[in-house]
Structure 1
């Protein structure tokens, strides 16, 4: 099984869709404020008592990312809330809409009050009959008991029916059932991912596989290969939070594992956070010390250094790549153009330094 995990991870490493992972960069302050309000108004399905803005759960991170994506698509606040309600149920909002189910919930206390009043009335009548001077016949007692039963029977039936209806309407049983179905399909999805002749997984199936893996990792928290695979799936799905958290967990479990370190470094170097970029660069430099001919590590290090305007380091990494790549490798032309671009940028930076000193 461990070998299977490694094969799947290697398969995911070969994807060519590792575009830069989105970060929460807003068009203006108003959009950022709207994002904060939305995430504070939506409840985390796992934590329940926390909003998705305050929760550190993976599902809350996914929901925050989805809110951001919907905002970038131009969706209104109400459209985003409607999307979340449709996917997670009315429970996801702190202010559930006025529906027949919620109306019933508000009416139930009144029904209980009326039922209690009925009980009091019946008991008072029975007490008066008990203390009556005239003896009561057996027939009257039997009639009173029957009347007592038929008085409460309809109310009890209505209460049971209403309770069941409210549960079916307001509970998340549909989401739970869908989650169970996905969990049951996880072995088949893994088998398809392992089989090179099988039909490749589409994005929806990849998302289902990620959900199934999360469930499995709840029971196998020390499964390093599982966390790595979840991180790769997050990258394929362009889900920055899932990818970062998964690789961070794997790195915490095995900080000396070169594959874990490389995957974590790749996620960090594609982040929009300068702190993440610096940490990713440090991890890549550690990998270079152990294997200075790894083209993939050199490429990521050059990319990271270039993005941080450390052009000399980027040029050095690309030049080492030229020494490693075969003479007929088509990537050499791309690397050479990248070196020229970095040299121009470095020259421009050097030319501005004397002017800054003169000022």
Structure 2
């Protein structure tokens, strides 16, 4: 018991000594420094933070988005005007960004989704093209441009399931109209890629019946038919 009491007593004494030392270490209260003393440092910190943000933060992306949004009307007008200078790849990318921004506030605009889908196809951006055409087709399944664009994007996908769905959609389009050259061409290409050579040949032969005798596409189609028949 005595030993235990000695340990407790020493511990309490040690605590009291530490408290005294800490009390001596606390500086006495004096007059506070004015706000003006800290103001230059605060201003400098804000300047450094702003420079860092403009160089490494999201500011460049925000600025690019603002520029693309402002330029969208002019870029869109040029893209739709066959007499205007064609857009280069950078301008097409800005147009796509501007269209996506517009469609966030106007998601029911079928023509806007179609334009974004076409832009995505030109840029080789399969995700943008497929998503845009899917939205257009969902909004208006009877819109032929939406259905055909969606089918084309699916057939050009690297996903076999997308290819299958695109082929089925093209088959439905062909069953509705046997005289649309573009639909027949895409259907033949899709069938050939999926090794349905008989369907591809049938579609190409139908195209030959529709094309005039002097059409340059006839020679390409005839070679494609021979190639498919050799498979």
- TM-score w.r.t. the length of structure 1 is 0.54
- Pick from 195, 198, 217 the counterpart of residue 312 of structure 1: 198
- Pick from 299, 313, 325 the counterpart of residue 211 of structure 2: 325
Moved more, 215-224 or 160-169: 160-169
How far is 1:200 from its partner? 1.5
User: In the alignment, does 2:40 pair up with 1:154?
Assistant: no
User: In the alignment, does 2:111 pair up with 1:225?
Assistant: yes
Partner of 1:165: 48
Question: Which SS does the other structure have where 1:125 is aligned?
Answer: coil
In 1: Cα distance, 2:81 partner to 2:180 partner: 28
In 1: Cα distance, 2:48 partner to 2:61 partner: 17
How far is 1:322 from its partner? 1.0
In 2: Cα distance, 1:255 partner to 1:196 partner: 28
Moved more, 219-228 or 199-208: 199-208
1:21-170 alignment to 2 at 5 Å?
121=27, 124-126=28-30, 144=31, 148-149=33-34, 153-170=36-53
How far is 1:154 from its partner? 3.2
In 1: Cα distance, 2:178 partner to 2:29 partner: 95
Distance 1:195 1:315, change over 3 A: closer
CA deviations over 1:302-359 (Å, ceiling 9, x no partner): 11011111111111111111111112211111111111111100xxxxxxxxxxxxxx
In 1: Cα distance, 2:112 partner to 2:139 partner: 12
Partner of 1:292: 178
User: In the alignment, does 2:127 pair up with 1:244?
Assistant: no
Distance 1:174 1:273, change over 3 A: closer
In 1: Cα distance, 2:90 partner to 2:75 partner: 11
> Greater helix percent: which structure?
2
CA deviations over 1:283-311 (Å, ceiling 9, x no partner): 11111121111111111111101111111
Question: Which SS does the other structure have where 1:271 is aligned?
Answer: coil
In 2: Cα distance, 1:314 partner to 1:321 partner: 11
Distance 1:230 1:314, change over 3 A: same
User: In the alignment, does 2:41 pair up with 1:176?
Assistant: no
User: In the alignment, does 2:122 pair up with 1:270?
Assistant: no
Higher relative contact order (CA 8 A, sep 6+): 1
How far is 1:159 from its partner? 2.6
CA deviations over 1:189-244 (Å, ceiling 9, x no partner): 12222333322211111111111111111111011111111011011011111111
Q: Which runs of 5+ in 2 are unaligned?
A: 1-25
Distance 1:272 1:178, change over 3 A: closer
- Pick from 120, 131, 139 the counterpart of residue 234 of structure 1: 120
Question: Which SS does the other structure have where 2:212 is aligned?
Answer: coil
Larger Rg computed on CA atoms: 2
Partner of 1:336: 222
How many residue pairs were aligned? 203
Q: What RMSD over aligned residues (CA atoms) do the two structures have, in Å?
A: 1.7
Q: Which runs of 5+ in 1 are unaligned?
A: 1-119, 127-143, 346-359
